Amino acid sequence: MSLLPFGKLPLFAPRQFVPVEANVGNWTQLSPLFDQLETRAAKCSSVTDFERWLLDWGELSAAIDEESSRRYIAMTCHTDDAEAKKAYLDFVEHVEPQLKPRQFKLSEIYLAHPLRSQLPTHRYEVFDRDTKIHVELFRQENVPLETEETKLGQQYQEITGSLTVKFRGEEKTLPQMAKFLEEPDRAMRQEAWELVANRRLQEAEKFEAIFDHMVKLREKIAANAGFPNYLDYAFRARGRFDYTPADCRQFHAAVETEIMPVVRELQTARRQQLQLSSLRPWDTEVDPFNRPPLKPFSDVTQMVSRTQNIFDRLDGTLAGGFQKMRDLHLLDLDNRKGKAPGGYQCSLNESRLPFIFMNAVGVQRDVETMLHEAGHAFHALATRPEPIYSYRHAPIEFCEVASMSMELLGNEHLEEFYPTPEANRARRTHLEGIVKFFPWMATIDAFQHWIYTHPGHTRAERSAAWLALMDRFGGLTDWSGHEKARANLWHRQLHIFLHPFYYVEYGIAQLGALQVWANSRRDKPGALRAYQQALALGGSRPLPELFQAAGCRLEFTAKTIHPLVKLVKEELAKLN
């Protein structure tokens, strides 16, 4: 596929099971390989045979996964290329649906296998646990319900993606409107904010209807799988073995007592700096001293070489990893026509190499994204030697520790981009962003706890539950005159619609990242060593052990949060 930014990549290891010439994007060539694995399982007569069988299954999964990633990368790098889109959709429509039941079948074969109990326990503990969950939760009757859920998700995205407003004579998408909230001219900010809020409100009825339908489906999915409610089902399905709904509620309470006071202090300072009598929803993003935006680089080449300098200063292994990605063209970073929006890191699972995609335009946010995605890429590089396919991925709670830590550690060397006063301004914005994120995380998470433990609730009750959370976590922002926008604010949070309960992970990970950063202030080489050792574990150990290896604790109590918030506050004071 010539549409890929990179050429032929070196194989990590030669294939032992999948034929070298196999076209793994074609189901007719894949299906016999699944047949072979199914029949071979019965013939395994020793643990060695059985482990080889598991590795071959992993090799096939990795090859298919890489094919899917390659098609996704080609499509997002060339949204205007019909062939690339066709190749991607072909895979989604013709390979993935066939793949799911075959993978499920192999999981069943594994669980029923007589040699399973003879595998080394410590080594296979996590794999075994995850495979059990996969089989335990699978219900044939849920498949059509999940398809319906996905389609509703598409409707939600279609509506949000299609929204535009007419701003000063020009039609603009809602993401394009975001930059006007950084505009020093307050009247312009207000105009932009109100246009967007009102545009969303016009769709409120549709969002509510889609969501009502989703909640019904999810309650049914949970009931089919034998769970009393969708909250308990989701915790199991998301593989949350190491924390409970009660832990999450404790986390929300800790955010309220430990973080909200700091949020209110920051908001008060912002209001005073902006010389306002009250802080309105359109006053939260603008620079409080009305300075022009930071300009970290003039072109992407400069961004890459400066980022390289940061890694050179941090650690030789990390620097070498980033250099390798540059050499192999595993970076597509500049914003250009025909590229999908946003940024992501994606692993090529057979080559065992990471790829980073983003749309850099020359703002500080690009530097943060670059460091964040590089953290994910370091994770992928660190797990290369791991032979078990599923262990080359960590749970999401820990993946984000890898990326968020890299933002904090990398920010220590922002002088590669700016003179010190400007570097401090960037650091300040970043740390304030971390503080402000926790209450929003708690709001989104607590809201979903309420929704899925109140079956049969009405829209009015749901709205009241949301507003109660806005009172708890909204801080000092003055919403008067915009009560309706406030009551419907959750409509804009995609996760509530598309990825239920997937949000608290970011909060959990941020606590981990802050701990890594705190450790690095005491002992930088030690913290970086632990960070890399934890990354290298991939998903081979349970979540608490991954945190422990990185030198931190998986804990969301006030006791853990308190010293971290104190450190951030001290740092913010220094950066003033």
How near is the Cβ of 365 to Zn ion at its closest, in Å? 14
Q: Are strands 353-360 and 331-334 parallel, antiparallel or unpaired?
A: parallel
| Interface region with Zn ion, contact rule CB under 5 A, candidates 97-105, 318-326, 359-367, 399-407 | 399-407
Instruction: Give the whole-angstrom CA distance, residue 116 versus residue 51.
Output: 9
- The single residue among 403, 411, 443, 510 that binds Zn ion, judged by CB under 5 A, is 403
- Using the minimum distance from each CB to Zn ion, give the nearer residue, 349 or 403: 403
Q: State which residue, 97 or 342, has the beta carbon closest to Zn ion.
A: 342
Dig out the tokens for 341 from the structure. Answer: 């929006």
**Part in contact with Zn ion (CB under 5 A); list of ranges 27-35, 36-44, 166-174, 395-403:** 395-403
402 exposed, middle or buried (CB, 10 Å; 0-12, 13-18, 19+)? Answer: buried
Q: Which residue is nearest to Zn ion (CB)?
A: 403
Q: How far is the CB of 506 from Zn ion (least distance, A)?
A: 8
Rounded least distance, CB 521 to Zn ion, Å: 23
Instruction: Name the residue among 291, 283, 292 with its Cα closest to residue 192.
Output: 283
Q: Which is nearer to Zn ion, 347 or 403 (CB)?
A: 403
**Cα–Cα distances in Å, from 516 out to 348, 402, 465, 519?**
27, 10, 35, 5
The string of DSSP letters for 137-188 reads H--TTHHHHHHHHHHHHHHHHHHHHH-EEEETTEEEEHHHHGGGGG-S-HHH
Stretch that binds Zn ion, among 82-90, 313-321, 401-409, 502-510 (CB under 5 A): 401-409
Work out whether 347 is an interface residue with Zn ion (CB under 5 A). Answer: no
Near Zn ion by CB under 5 A, which window of 228-236, 318-326, 402-410, 439-447? Answer: 402-410
* Nearest to Zn ion of 362, 375 (CB atom): 375
Among positive and negative, which fits the CA dihedral 278, 280, 285, 287? negative
Q: What's the token pair of residue 494?
A: 């995609």
CB neighbour list of residue 320: distance below 8 Å, 6 or more residues apart:
none
Return the number of the residue (181 or 514) whose C-beta is nearest Zn ion: 514
Give the shortest CB-407-to-Zn ion separation in angstroms: 10
Size of the site for Zn ion (CB under 5 A): 1
Looking at residues 112 to 151 of the shown chain, list those that interact with Zn ion (rule: CB under 5 A).
Answer: none
**Of 510, 517, 493, 532, whose CA–CA distance to 567 is shortest?**
517
As measured in angstroms, the least distance from the Cβ of 400 to Zn ion is 5
Q: Smallest distance, Å, CB 399 to Zn ion?
A: 7
Closer to Zn ion at the Cβ: 403 or 540?
Answer: 403
In terms of CB distance, is 63 or 310 closer to Zn ion? 310
Residue 436 three-state SS: helix
Structure tokens that stand for 456 in this block: 């049969």
- Identify residue 66 by its one-letter amino acid code: E
What is the nearest approach in angstroms of Zn ion to the Cβ of residue 542? 21
Cα-based angle 437, 175, 377 (whole degrees, multiple of 5): 60
Shortest distance (Å) from residue 345 CB to Zn ion: 7
Give the nearer residue to Zn ion in terms of CB position, either 315 or 400: 400
**Contact positions toward Zn ion, by CB under 5 A?**
403
